[in-house]
Amino acid sequence: MTRLQQLFTEQGQSPWLDNLRRGWITSGELERRVDRGVRGLTSNPSIFTNAILGSEDYDEEFSGAVGAGSGVEDAYWQLVTSDIRAALDILRPVYDESDGLDGYVSVEVDPKLARDSARTCEAARRLHRQINAPNLYVKIPGTAEGLQPIRTMIAEHRSINVTLIFSLDRYAEVMESYLCGLEAAQGDLSDISSVASFFVSRLDTEVDRRLEVIGTPSASELKGKAALASAKLAYELFQRTFSGPRWEALAARGARVQRPLWASTSTKNPDYPDTLYVDGLIGPDTVNTLPDSTMAAFEDHGTVAHTIDVGTDEARALLDELARIGVDIDEVAAQLEAEGVASFEKSFDELLDALNAKVDSVS
């Protein structure tokens, strides 16, 4: 049994792959990864930018779409949906065998819509209708403007991956949106699924930068700890939210918990262990989506053990200490959210520019 398989069978955590490229689909690599224990897959604009611009695998389909009269942006979405549909087919057996727990593939709405609630709803609805697979997650950014689309999509029985969550307050708002959506939905709720993607390593990167500016020995001792602490408190909040009479009434209608998904789990600081954000966040009813390099590291030397709720009191004390010395976690989260939205927009724009240049070069 692989370590990835052990995560699920022994600890109740689902390991997902945070990457997708066409060569993995055509070569059988994605199927082999599923055989080794991958139980889902996430994508984002940056992943597709790297995949499409980093190989010739998409050139024929892109040229055919443009030649048939599609605009560059429409051709891009054709490439994306082709990959997503193929990945959905490969993951479908996992979805069926797990009774809809896993086997999902995530595709993100146009990142330029992150601050536009109405158009985010339209885009998410359109992707669900266009791709039309029960194991599809449409990703909606967890911005303030994303909260209403989350409620609306869940109420319409459309499964959602809420992405770019950095703060505990926003995470609480996201879970509330999910619950409100379930309460507004008609009939049996068992066909609705959702995850809430809590971003991890980027938090340490920014907090560490601020601690470096403070420069005291006590500040240095706090480096590399904020992300795991925040995630542990997020898990505590998850457990508290999905319990009690309100949740029990929804569960009686077939509702599933909105599992926390640990995202951005590659280690950015080379001084930290390369499996830091995997080993430290293992527990039931969670997902960890791993970039391929992090997955390879965990498969090689990761530790499978229950860790998610170990040291919760210490995590709370650590965040209190950060606040005491002047590191405002809420301010950090707001900055990271803005940077995350901007980064995905930039990747999307760069990709469209490159595809336009490709059209110009062959016309």
Handedness of CA 152, 154, 155, 157 (dihedral sign): positive
Domain ranges of the chain: 3-200+242-306+341-362
pLDDT digits (tens, 9 = 90+) for 187-217: 999 999 999 999 999 999 999 999 999 999 9
Integer Cα distance of 38 and 122 in angstroms: 31
The single-letter DSSP state of residue 109 is P
Q: What is the pLDDT of residue 49?
A: 84
Give the sheet arrangement for strand 13-17, strand by strand.
13-17, 286-290, 259-263, 194-199, 160-165, 136-141, 105-108
**Of 59 and 127, more confident:** 127
Alpha carbon of 135 to those of 13, 39, 348: distances in Å?
Answer: 18, 11, 25
pLDDT digits (tens, 9 = 90+) for 131-182: 999 999 999 999 999 999 999 999 999 999 999 999 999 999 999 999 999 9
Q: What is the pLDDT of residue 361?
A: 63
Type of residue at 309? D
**Where are the strands (E) in the chain, listed by range?**
13-17, 105-108, 136-141, 160-165, 194-199, 259-263, 286-290
pLDDT digits (tens, 9 = 90+) for 337-358: 999 999 888 888 888 888 888 7
- Percent residues over pLDDT 90 in the chain: 84
Integer Cα distance of 169 and 153 in angstroms: 21
pLDDT digits (tens, 9 = 90+) for 315-340: 999 999 999 999 999 999 999 999 99
Query: Catalytic residue positions?
Result: 139
Integer Cα distance of 65 and 75 in angstroms: 6
Integer Cα distance of 276 and 297 in angstroms: 10
Integer Cα distance of 62 and 162 in angstroms: 29
Residue 143 and residue 337 in contact, taking contact as beta carbons nearer than 8 Å = yes
Looking at residues 43-57, what average pLDDT do you find?
Answer: 86
Quote the CATH superfamily of domain 3-200+242-306+341-362: Aldolase class I (3.20.20.70)
DSSP sequence for 220-282:
HTTTT-HHHHHHHHHHHHHHHHT-SHHHHHHHTTTPPP-EEEEE--S--STTS-TTHHHHTT-
CA-wise closest residue to 280 among 241, 235, 332: 235
Query: What six digits make up the tokens of 140?
Result: 């909606």
Angle between helices 201-214 and 226-241 in degrees, nearest 10: 130
**Of 5 and 63, more confident:** 5
| Segment (H or E) for 68 | none
Alpha carbon of 217 to those of 7, 204, 209, 211, 220: distances in Å?
Answer: 37, 17, 14, 10, 5
Query: What six digits make up the tokens of 253?
Result: 């209608």
Q: What is the pLDDT of residue 70?
A: 87
